Amino acid sequence: MPGSTSDRAERADGRSRTAGDVACLAVVGAGPAGLAAAVTAADHGLDVVLLDAAASPGGQYYRSPPEELAAVLPRAAVPPRAAPKGQRVFSGLMDRLAAHRAAGGIRYLPGHHVWTVTRTGSGWTLHTVVGARGEGGPAVRARRLLLATGAYERQLPFPGWTTPGVVGAAGAQAMLKSGHALPGRRVVVAGSGPLLQAVAVSLVRAGARVPALVEAAGYGGYAAAPRVLAANPSKPAEGLRHGAALVRAGVRVMSHRAVTAVHGTDRVEAVTVSRLDRDWRPVPDSGRTITCDALAVGHGLTPQLELAVEIGCATRTCADGSLAVRLDERLSTTVPGVWAAGEPGGIGGVGLALTEGELAAHAIAADVQGRSPRETSGRVRSLGRARRGQRAFAELMAEVHRPGHGWRDWVEDDTEVCRCEEVTAGRIRTAVGELGAADARTVKLLTRAGMGWCQGRTCGFAVRALAVSAGAAARDPAPDRRMPACPVLLSALAGADGADGMEPLDVDESPDTGRGGTRS
Ligand SMILES: Cc1cc2nc3c(=O)[nH]c(=O)nc-3n(C[C@H](O)[C@H](O)[C@H](O)COP(=O)(O)OP(=O)(O)OC[C@H]3O[C@@H](n4cnc5c(N)ncnc54)[C@H](O)[C@@H]3O)c2cc1C
């Protein structure tokens, strides 16, 4: 199908695109969602620029070792990117990407981290940094923007979580996939959410011993929604497959329990696992010690929203308390000319990311071609149905594994909550109880929690929850506007300003538009 006249003209004259060209569509993120979107949009004849911070396409699910490392690792040591069916899907996407690149329909920019997006006329300018030091990269211009930026792992602090040998559960998976590195030889996997099962299975396959998988919620919650399960048969099947693999490997699966302490000074030597009540409060005297040399811990994922929030996209609160970009059925955000797909719209897994990426691309093509949203093809209708079913499962998953309020009882006064600025739970409680902080934002200003390198991406959820439990107001969590989306050298900032005449963002203080607040 053809693109707009200007898109076709750009394609037809075959001129090489430079940073000065304006693409029809910029896709940020080459994970499952961004890849599916880019190749589908290019199938429609749109001229696409695909940017990704990583060196190779695939995102978190299809992550693989860098070529130079893969070349020296023994073949058997490189874990598969995905199960065979997933591998076929990925190969198909890669073939289509290669074909569109060769034909000039997609310009792929790996290793380009978009640190901010500004409005330029009726389109967008994406400012990038490149290289290990974050040098200023090209500014890329496009008339439309699709955000497929994925997610972060969510951490809840507890005594000892900063001890060497404690790693994120999703982080352990990433280490395994990108370098076949194990966090330890005897690894307890803990936290909440279905990703823990996948992590434990991968660790076992890679040669680690996993004495226990510790899940803070229970799996029984899924049974409460049989229709959602019936509409997503691959999900319970995957859970059963993982469960069977864990039983075979002798991994003890413990639900309604959490790691509430880590033992060891220079390195993890053991963890305390406590039974939890319905609210995730540790049951007194229920703690038992498990010997291990590493702990892989994480409480699910949370959408990566910096760019979306920065340009004013409204957000919604998911069943687990995370914020996600608010999207309509056609994956449009509330900002005209901006779409989002995959995890930014709520955590839902690789299948949903692929569905949404393709669906968003069809919607963008219809927009380019001036077709009415009502003129949908059979393919679009079936993708829409699939998306509704997958989203229903995603909400169920968020509900089942939503952190209970009682997790705050795991945290002692000297437990570090903000690792970058070394702010303890005691200082957060003092800021509320003694210094009079009335909300989480004032706590942040008084303690510097969330003002360090990661800008609250790791601790933001915990700081807010601890502040509220100490007596601060439980306001709706308006997302902070966090420009830049990654650390940027002053030289890159200066270069961007001068080169492109960045237009100031239109700041709206209304919290439910996701545009409120100022940067610390
Ligand atoms: C660490 C980690 C490990 C995971 N491991 C698994 C697993 O083993 N199995 C599983 O089923 N699920 C896993 N997941 C869940 C996984 O995220 C999703 O199932 C799936 O990959 C979502 O696809 P996506 O395209 O939405 O996002 P992603 O796959 O996360 O892709 C997002 C892409 O956007 C890029 N990006 C983000 N911000 C920018 C920016 N500002 N500029 C440029 N590029 C940017 C990233 O580099 C990334 O390539 C993991 C998640 C995380 C966070």
**Of 5, 1, 42, nearest in space to 361 by CA:** 42
d(CA 171, CA 183) in angstroms, rounded, equals 10
d(CA 458, CA 276) in angstroms, rounded, equals 23
Question: 349 in ligand 1 pocket by Cβ < 6 Å?
Answer: yes
Q: Backbone dihedral region of 308: left (phi > 0), alpha (psi from -120 to 50 degrees) or beta?
A: alpha
Determine the distance separating the centroid of ligand 1 and the alpha carbon of 310, expressed in angstroms.
20
Amino acid at the residue 185: R
**Of 258, 349, 317, nearest in space to 464 by CA:** 317
User: Each residue's pLDDT tens digit in the chain (520 positions)?
Assistant: 444 444 444 443 333 344 458 999 999 999 999 999 999 999 999 999 999 999 999 999 998 777 776 666 665 555 566 666 778 999 999 999 999 999 999 999 999 999 999 999 889 999 999 988 888 899 999 999 999 999 999 999 999 999 999 999 999 999 998 888 899 999 999 999 999 999 999 999 999 999 999 999 999 999 999 999 999 999 999 999 999 999 999 999 999 999 999 999 999 999 999 999 999 999 999 999 999 999 999 999 999 999 999 999 999 999 998 999 999 999 999 999 999 999 999 999 999 999 999 999 999 999 999 887 777 889 999 999 999 999 999 999 999 999 999 999 999 999 999 999 999 999 999 999 999 998 888 999 999 999 888 888 889 889 989 998 888 877 655 666 667 888 888 888 877 754 444 443 333 323 222 222 223 3
Torsion angle, alpha carbons of 154, 159, 160, 162, to 10: 40
> Which pLDDT does position 509 carry in this prediction?
29
Determine the distance separating the centroid of ligand 1 and the alpha carbon of 350, expressed in angstroms.
9
Can you tell me which atom of ligand 1 is nearest the CA of 356?
Answer: 26
Torsion angle, alpha carbons of 498, 500, 503, 505, to 10: -100
Q: What per-residue string of b and e applies to 37-62 under the rule 16 or more CB within 10 Å gives b?
A: bbbbbbbbbbbbbbbbbbebbbbbbb
Which residues lie across from 50 on neighbouring strands?
Answer: 27, 108
d(CA 518, CA 520) in angstroms, rounded, equals 6
φ, ψ of residue 46 to 5 degrees: the values are -75, 150
Question: 26 in ligand 1 pocket by Cβ < 6 Å?
Answer: no
> Which pLDDT does position 477 carry in this prediction?
58
Torsion angle, alpha carbons of 91, 303, 356, 146, to 10: -90
Instruction: Judge whether 264 and 240 are in contact, CB under 8 Å.
Output: no
Q: Backbone dihedral region of 250: left (phi > 0), alpha (psi from -120 to 50 degrees) or beta?
A: left
**Of 400, 405, 419, 278, nearest in space to 347 by CA:** 400
Question: 60 in ligand 1 pocket by Cβ < 6 Å?
Answer: yes
Helix (H) or strand (E) holding 35: helix 32-43
**Cα dihedral sign, 497-499-501-502:** negative
Strands 151-153 and 301-303: antiparallel
d(CA 199, CA 183) in angstroms, rounded, equals 12
Which contacts (CB < 8 Å, 24+ apart) does range 58-61 have? 58/30, 58/31, 58/32, 58/90, 59/29, 59/30, 59/31, 59/32, 59/33, 59/34, 59/35, 59/150, 59/353, 60/31, 60/150, 60/151, 60/170, 60/174, 61/31, 61/32, 61/86, 61/350, 61/353
CA-CA distances (angstroms) from residue 88 to 94, 213, 422, 509?
Answer: 10, 30, 45, 46
How many other C-beta atoms can be found within 10 angstroms of the C-beta atom of residue 15? 11
> Which pLDDT does position 87 carry in this prediction?
85
d(CA 34, CA 428) in angstroms, rounded, equals 39
Model-level pTM? 0.89
Determine the distance separating the centroid of ligand 1 and the alpha carbon of 61, expressed in angstroms.
6
Determine the distance separating the centroid of ligand 1 and the alpha carbon of 281, expressed in angstroms.
31
Instruction: Judge whether 185 and 377 are in contact, CB under 8 Å.
Output: no
Question: 34 in ligand 1 pocket by Cβ < 6 Å?
Answer: yes
Determine the distance separating the centroid of ligand 1 and the alpha carbon of 194, expressed in angstroms.
16
Can you tell me which atom of ligand 1 is nearest the CA of 177?
Answer: 8
Question: 90 in ligand 1 pocket by Cβ < 6 Å?
Answer: no
- Tokens at residue 66, please? 């860098």
> Which pLDDT does position 306 carry in this prediction?
92
Burial of 301 (0-12, 13-18, 19+ CB in 10 A): buried
- Tokens at residue 132, please? 């290990």
How many other C-beta atoms can be found within 10 angstroms of the C-beta atom of residue 162? 12
Look at ligand 1, atom 6, and give the residue with the nearest C-alpha: 61
**Of 394, 374, 277, 262, nearest in space to 329 by CA:** 374
d(CA 153, CA 312) in angstroms, rounded, equals 23
Question: 29 in ligand 1 pocket by Cβ < 6 Å?
Answer: yes
> Can you tell me whether residue 274 is helix, strand or coil?
strand
